[in-house]
Structure 1
Amino acid sequence: MSQWQDLLRLDSAIQGRVSQLYERKFPREIRHSLCVLIESQDWDLAAVDENAASICFRALLVNLEEQWNSCVQENNILQRPDFTGMKYYLLKNFEDEPLNLAVILSECLKEEKKILASASEAQGCSSPAMDPKWKELDNKVSELERQSSEVKKEIQSLERLNDELDFIQKTWQSQVDQHIGLNHTFVEEECHKRIDFITQTKQMVLQQIVNILELAQPIVATLTDMELPEWKRRQQLACIGSPVDICLDHLQKWFTTVAEVLLRLHEQLQNLQDQNKKYGSADASSLLGRMAEIKNTTLSLFTKLLTNALVVEKQPVMSSLPQRPLILKTRVRFTVRVRFLANLPEFKYLLKVKPVFDKDVEEAKAVKGFRHFDFNRDECKVLDVDSPRGDLVTEFGHMSLKESEGRAKGSHETRLPVTEELHVIKFVTQFQYAGLELNIEASSLPVVVISSTNQAVAAWASVMWYNMLSTSEPRDLLLFVDPPPLTWQQLSQVLSWQFWSCGKRELDEDQLSVLRDKIVDDPEGLVHWNNFSKNENIWIWIDGILDLIKKHLVDLWRDGSIMGFVTRDRTQVLLQEKHHGTFLLRFSESRKHGAITFSWVDHSNGEPFVHAVDPYNKDELLLTPLPEIIYHYSLRGRRGTHTNPLIYLYPDIHKDAAFERYYNSSAMSTPKMSGYVPRTKGDFSDNPTPPPSPPRDMPMMDMDVDVTEEDDELFQELSEFFFCNSPTFDISSRNG
């Protein structure tokens, strides 16, 4: 059995981890359809060998082609997965970069093995842990299902009793003639006994149904009014980076079970009514009213459950911004997925879902200049169960927006900026089954529609702000007309999630303290929207650092090598008591779009002095990774000698122990001698160690200020004054 099949057999909660593993990385449908082939390839080798990656990539395409041809020959195209769509996805995303596919699948297969191992350990000890509240709800739903099964048996028994009574009543005369001693009175008494027993059984069954409905009512309320809103809130937080569990498996299991119970009760009540009509029960008239009342209660609960069963499982997201959903750019494709939680076989292909932009949005009329958008194409999709796990889902994978000509002329005098204007996408469907007709809707979280990529940073600030503040429906799409402030606790949490989202490491208390001092200027600890979003040195600066981590420093951030947010004063306090050559990595405070510097300590005449290199930006780190910069960095001394002042990563880890796994072996190896003096790759600075006997109150050097031409000339004059007998001393292009 394949590893993938083993995963599908696990508990639904654990399978949720698999869903999150593949979310926004690789389609689960392709993993499912090609599970055997994927697991037969050496993706670890392919992840480091481009030729091997190309061979594996081509093998996937060939297998998809073979499966497609097989479906054509079997005339089974409509019932099979979309093999052509899968092939298109692979070609579009990985044809030019098969190495990227190999890296993704290598990592995912390893994580799958970890999930299987952890599941195996859990099963060896006990069943997977479940929230006590969920366990109680799970038990109630199971009891509901059990009682419903008992009612079904009783109604089947009633039908047999009615059949027997009907047979006796129609054939008693012939039975009297054939059996001596069997008289009319005896038959009538026997029939009356059976009628009484049937009547009592009906009353008992109806009471059982009432009891089931009384048990179902609080369960339905819990699902629709508590569990579902809590899941939606978790999804909100997950959209802005929170590492919360947004698996829908528990909810779907409960919704499906309760929906099936209510649907079967409705059918069984109809069965009772049909029996009354068929067998002409004497108590039929007295039972009709009670049955109608019970049936109405059943339909009411069923309606409430189903009208809440449609959810947006995957919020709108562009493939170019996978970690920042809810930002949509005009004419750029985005995807969104909806799921119907009541996953009954009867509902397959029953629901046709249509997306509608800004449906019934009154804000569109209330705000001056509010923009209007339409989808580039009308699209309806039928919910089916062709997903790997048979969920009743559909994904809108090729949606895009275009702006309409007209703009609202509303009552608000100030038009909202583009990045503060909120919109929603609603998904509507009509449910018709068993005489019940319902209009069902599900709404996306508010989205921000931008027209230029450079608006994405400001738009993400709006998405974070809104989703931390707004926790209920209907959504307040005019929140930014007069945006409420966030507490520092709220803002610090969402900022920490950003670092978790891009680098799998949240901010600690010391790092958050530095940010708090920069951001909070309110005595009550509140952060106002304009101070955060309009101050170009705060959010843009933080976003620049996030981008720096994502593109160049993710491994160093994850393993804790980067201290990150630490002030100049704090840097001096931390380093001055450390060994000579101790250094730390921190983000530049003066570079708007993200840069990183290292500060180190050396000692002169027993005095510690802290220095910092001019910060490295994204362009420089693109050319040379930071571990290599640290490995090759050197100071040029007065006599032309070079030394690397970086020895121990704070607090006391030798730099090779900290960074060796990141070194590029070819860049670090010593070239073979061939008669030439080898050149050394590396960045260097002039030795900044101060002259002997400096005054104790000498201020620490400015750690992040760029060295200007005037500063360079001044430093040259000082150097000539202090080192007039050292003609070999010169000035570097990068100074501490």
Structure 2
Amino acid sequence: MAQWQELLRLDSALQSRVRQLYEKKFPREIRHHLCMWIESQDWHSAAVDENKAKTCFHAFLLCLEEQWNRSVQENNILQGPDFSGMKDYLVENFQYQPQNLAILLSECLKEEKNILASVTEVQRCGTPGLDQNQRDLHNTVNELTRQTSEVKKEIKQLEGLNEKLDFVQKTWQSKVEQHNGLAQSNPVVEEEVLKRLVFITQTTQTVLEQIVNILKQAEQIVVTLTDVELPQWKHRQQMACIGSPVDTSLDHLEKWFTTVAEVLLGVHGELQKLQEQNSKYSSTCASGLAASMGETEKFALSLLMKLVTNALVVEKQPVMHKSQHRPLILKTEVQFKVTVRFLANLPEFKYQLKVKPIFDKDVEEVKTASGFRRFDFNSDDSKVLDVDTPGGGLMAEFGHMSLKEKKSRSKGQCENRLVVTEELHIIKFVIVFQYAGQRCNIEASSLPVLVISSTNQASSAWASIMWWNMQSTMEPWNLSLFSNPPPLPWQQLSKALSWQFLSVGQRELDENQLSMLRDKIVGNCASEGRSDDPDDHVQWSRFSKNESAWMWIDGILDLIKKHMVDIWRDGFIMGFVSKERTRLLLEKKPAGTFLIRFSESIKYGAITFSWVDQNTHIRAVEPYTKKELQGISLPQIIYHYSLTAHGKTRKPLLYLYPDIPKDVAFGRYYKLSEMSSTVDINGYVNRKLVSVSVYPIPPPSPPREQSMEVDTDVETDTDLQQLLDELFADFSRPTCTQGHFLNPLSLQGSYADYPNSF
């Protein structure tokens, strides 16, 4: 079987990994329709041999041409794959650099094998995605189901015995009435009836003991689910919200909740059958069993209520549609979405549970009028939990929620002690649950959210979200944390910062990069008189206020996200390296060796490169900001960068640190259209932007003054555009064709999405 066909058989989570592997790199349609041919080629050898790469590339074109000709012969041009378009794509992107294609496919095929190998390892070790404790829990739940099934069979047999004994007694009574000479009581008959009565009573007692044993096991499982597994999942989700690469799937937890709820409902039903039998065949059961049955039924109901009151979870935390990577920040009058799921996914609950969102329910800060702003939803968006969802879960998605601020505070109320980006709120989701005469409220709370009124506040708000989630890990949530924020150990803060780079650029920070950040953040704290702190704690005010380290880091994150995701992900940007360390790294390297680092002097993010000049001096170019990178990419800057002196021009950048030839490192990112100068039909020679410095390099410029963005209640142009985008978001092109959803691995957009990705 082809490797690709094996990938198509994986679950959706693993298929998503494969989809991300090819996204914006190579069309999955080509991988899908030519899977056998692609896997038959030696891309690994071609990746290191230019001649083999050219041979493979031309063979690829020939294969596509043959497939196209076959489509023409079979009159299947419209319905079949666009082999002609695939060929054009390869020519446009790899004709001059076929080795880049070989490197790309070699890496992708290798990662595909790793994904399949991980599946094989999981299958060998047992239940996928579970540690030993969870596997034990899984086995216990399955055993509980088996025992319940056995009890159901025994109660069914008991019903048959009761019916048979009742039939014997009634038949004997009928015979007595029909024959005057027949005695009402007969020793033989009475003895036989008594034997069966004793057997039925003993069997009923045994079944009841089995049910009690099942409920005791269920009690332990319920405690494990509600007090261990569910809090652990909530903590993983909390960390995932701020970028941690953890598994937040609810599949196993939902299966356990559902199975145990099904067992408890089944046991409750079987107890009712026993009670009905006891009532119907009152002479067949000892009177003491009736009381035991009643107590056991109450026990079963109490366990069921404990389970279901913990079964509602916020599966996807509140997030604005245009800020998917930064949840828990909401802007007034801007749409956001949130999803809740009921883990006990049983048919009995379908369409029976209505969930209502309430903003700041039971929040003491609001009740005591401590100055917190007060908000409400723009509309009543209650929903009934439904199982008609893609994953079959009992869930509700609130996709078009928005907030409005209530009237301002009246005189006499306390002024808010916190700024907008430190004021925490929660959204609670409430269900009124009724079953077997029992009634209770089921509640689930979102993680604390921040409500901003301007997009200028988003960066500061995200600093608060990170800080709070690293500090608070247990409910009930402390919404007043920023009234007196405790310091955060550098070990925790460094994790959160590293996750930001993983989330934005698919690559975490290494030890050297974190060390530089530690010196910049913690070192500055020490210079302010806190050098005696052995745990390297960082104060909130130092991290977030005024000329903060966070504003600089966030500017760099934005720079990576918008202009250099690929080269950051592939490890070609050293990034966080001080000037002193730069000098130490480069001073013994040959002329032309360079490294890329982030500027420390420009507040909102800039990037520069330092290199070894011909006279062994370490030079650095004036940093490039986001504005400059909008016009030309960093790889193009590096390719074209030149020094001019005395009428002579030379290119000083030759080797990326430590010793990678510049074109080997950045060749895949060069834009072919900018690599050559040709004459167009009008006779003009194409021009291009070239980065040139006049040698020698002037001394470094002082830090650039950049105005602070001011928060205001007035809607800015950016806010207005975001609002328009939100309002018309639902009018985007649908993701299905002719009513058929496409396989996530074979889904293919326009080839225009892929050019210039290398």
Q: Secondary structure at the match of 2:283?
A: coil
Distance 1:374 1:394 in 2: 20
Equivalent of 1:682, from 681, 685, 690? 690
Contact 2:602–2:704, Cα closer than 8 Å, also in 1: no
Equivalent of 1:270, from 261, 269, 272? 272
Q: Secondary structure at the match of 1:386?
A: coil
How far residue 400 of structure 1 moved from its aligned partner, in angstroms, is 0.2
Which residue of 1 is the match for residue 725 of structure 2?
none
Which residue of 1 is the match for residue 147 of structure 2?
147
How far residue 460 of structure 1 moved from its aligned partner, in angstroms, is 0.5
How far residue 112 of structure 1 moved from its aligned partner, in angstroms, is 12
Matched, 1:565 2:576: yes
Distance 1:285 1:510 in 2: 77
Q: Which amino acid aligns with 1:609?
A: H
How far residue 156 of structure 1 moved from its aligned partner, in angstroms, is 0.5
Q: Which amino acid aligns with 2:142?
A: S
Listed one character per residue, the Cα deviations across residues 552-575 of structure 1 (whole Å, up to 9, x for unaligned) are: 011111000000000001000100
Question: Would the alpha carbon gap of residues 681 and 455 (structure 1) be closer, same or farther in structure 2, given more than 3 Å must change?
Answer: closer
Listed one character per residue, the Cα deviations across residues 349-391 of structure 1 (whole Å, up to 9, x for unaligned) are: 1101111101111111346421011101111111111112211
Which residue of 1 is the match for residue 164 of structure 2?
164
Distance 2:572 2:624 in 1: 16
Q: Which amino acid aligns with 1:254?
A: W
Q: Which amino acid aligns with 1:194?
A: R
Equivalent of 2:537, from 501, 521, 526? 526
Question: Would the alpha carbon gap of residues 22 and 291 (structure 1) be closer, same or farther in structure 2, given more than 3 Å must change?
Answer: farther
Q: TM-score, normalised on structure 2?
A: 0.75
Question: Would the alpha carbon gap of residues 461 and 475 (structure 1) be closer, same or farther in structure 2, given more than 3 Å must change?
Answer: same
Which deviates further from its counterpart, 462-471 or 676-685?
A: 676-685
Which residue of 1 is the match for residue 240 of structure 2?
238
How far residue 184 of structure 1 moved from its aligned partner, in angstroms, is 2.7
Equivalent of 1:450, from 449, 452, 465? 452
Which residue of 1 is the match for residue 507 of structure 2?
505
Contact 2:257–2:344, Cα closer than 8 Å, also in 1: yes
Contact 1:671–1:678, Cα closer than 8 Å, also in 2: yes
Equivalent of 1:489, from 491, 506, 525? 491
Which residue of 1 is the match for residue 588 of structure 2?
577
Contact 1:367–1:415, Cα closer than 8 Å, also in 2: no
Q: Which amino acid aligns with 1:615?
A: P
Contact 2:595–2:610, Cα closer than 8 Å, also in 1: yes
Which residue of 2 is the match for residue 637 of structure 1?
645
Matched, 1:665 2:662: no
Distance 1:592 1:457 in 2: 13
Equivalent of 2:636, from 628, 633, 640? 628
Q: Which amino acid aligns with 1:185?
A: P
Listed one character per residue, the Cα deviations across residues 143-192 of structure 1 (whole Å, up to 9, x for unaligned) are: 111111111111111100000000000002566899x9999322211111
Which residue of 1 is the match for residue 618 of structure 2?
610
Contact 2:173–2:184, Cα closer than 8 Å, also in 1: no
How far residue 132 of structure 1 moved from its aligned partner, in angstroms, is 0.7
Q: Secondary structure at the match of 1:274?
A: helix
Which residue of 2 is the match for residue 472 of structure 1?
474
Which residue of 2 is the match for residue 346 of structure 1?
348
Question: Would the alpha carbon gap of residues 330 and 141 (structure 1) be closer, same or farther in structure 2, given more than 3 Å must change?
Answer: same
Q: Secondary structure at the match of 1:167?
A: helix
Which residue of 2 is the match for residue 76 of structure 1?
none
Distance 1:241 1:469 in 2: 15
Distance 1:22 1:629 in 2: 31
Which residue of 1 is the match for residue 191 of structure 2?
189
Distance 1:259 1:124 in 2: 28
Question: Would the alpha carbon gap of residues 111 and 281 (structure 1) be closer, same or farther in structure 2, given more than 3 Å must change?
Answer: farther
Which residue of 1 is the match for residue 663 of structure 2?
656
Distance 1:506 1:228 in 2: 28
How far residue 411 of structure 1 moved from its aligned partner, in angstroms, is 8.3
Q: Secondary structure at the match of 1:491?
A: helix
How far residue 438 of structure 1 moved from its aligned partner, in angstroms, is 2.1
Contact 1:615–1:704, Cα closer than 8 Å, also in 2: no
Question: Would the alpha carbon gap of residues 707 and 355 (structure 1) be closer, same or farther in structure 2, given more than 3 Å must change?
Answer: closer
Q: Which amino acid aligns with 2:612?
A: V
How far residue 17 of structure 1 moved from its aligned partner, in angstroms, is 4.9
Q: TM-score, normalised on structure 1?
A: 0.78
Distance 1:312 1:550 in 2: 28
The within-5 A match list for 1:365-380 is 365-366=367-368, 368-380=370-382
Runs of 5+ unmatched residues, structure 1: 27-34, 43-62, 64-108, 690-700, 709-736
RMSD of aligned alpha carbons:
3.6
Which deviates further from its counterpart, 661-670 or 154-163?
A: 661-670
Q: Secondary structure at the match of 1:171?
A: helix
Distance 1:141 1:390 in 2: 21
Which residue of 1 is the match for residue 756 of structure 2?
none
Q: Which amino acid aligns with 1:240?
A: I
Which residue of 1 is the match for residue 229 of structure 2?
227
Q: Secondary structure at the match of 2:249?
A: coil
Listed one character per residue, the Cα deviations across residues 289-329 of structure 1 (whole Å, up to 9, x for unaligned) are: 11111111111111110000000000000011111000000
Listed one character per residue, the Cα deviations across residues 35-78 of structure 1 (whole Å, up to 9, x for unaligned) are: 99xx9999xxxxxxxxxxxxxxxxxxxx9xxxxxxxxxxxxxxx
Which residue of 2 is the match for residue 435 of structure 1?
437
Listed one character per residue, the Cα deviations across residues 189-224 of structure 1 (whole Å, up to 9, x for unaligned) are: 111111111000010001001111111111100100
Distance 1:256 1:310 in 2: 12
How far residue 284 of structure 1 moved from its aligned partner, in angstroms, is 4.6
Listed one character per residue, the Cα deviations across residues 402-449 of structure 1 (whole Å, up to 9, x for unaligned) are: 000043889876621011000000001111233332211100000000
Question: Would the alpha carbon gap of residues 678 and 306 (structure 1) be closer, same or farther in structure 2, given more than 3 Å must change?
Answer: closer
Q: Which amino acid aligns with 1:588?
A: S
Equivalent of 1:199, from 186, 194, 201? 201
Equivalent of 1:588, from 599, 615, 638? 599
Q: Which amino acid aligns with 2:655?
A: Y
Q: Secondary structure at the match of 2:477?
A: coil
Matched, 1:297 2:299: yes
The within-5 A match list for 1:712-727 is none
Equivalent of 1:316, from 309, 315, 318? 318
Q: Which amino acid aligns with 1:166?
A: D
Equivalent of 2:551, from 533, 540, 546? 540
Distance 2:287 2:572 in 1: 80
Distance 1:603 1:258 in 2: 73
Distance 1:427 1:4 in 2: 43
Question: Would the alpha carbon gap of residues 124 and 191 (structure 1) be closer, same or farther in structure 2, given more than 3 Å must change?
Answer: closer
Question: Would the alpha carbon gap of residues 578 and 408 (structure 1) be closer, same or farther in structure 2, given more than 3 Å must change?
Answer: farther
Q: Secondary structure at the match of 1:220?
A: helix
Contact 2:555–2:604, Cα closer than 8 Å, also in 1: yes
How far residue 123 of structure 1 moved from its aligned partner, in angstroms, is 7.4
Which residue of 2 is the match for residue 208 of structure 1?
210
Contact 1:366–1:411, Cα closer than 8 Å, also in 2: no
Distance 2:445 2:16 in 1: 22
How far residue 261 of structure 1 moved from its aligned partner, in angstroms, is 0.4
How far residue 707 of structure 1 moved from its aligned partner, in angstroms, is 9.9
Question: Would the alpha carbon gap of residues 679 and 476 (structure 1) be closer, same or farther in structure 2, given more than 3 Å must change?
Answer: closer
Q: Which amino acid aligns with 1:159?
A: E
Equivalent of 1:405, from 381, 404, 407? 407
Which residue of 2 is the match for residue 138 of structure 1?
138
Which residue of 1 is the match for residue 564 of structure 2?
553
Q: Which amino acid aligns with 1:374?
A: D
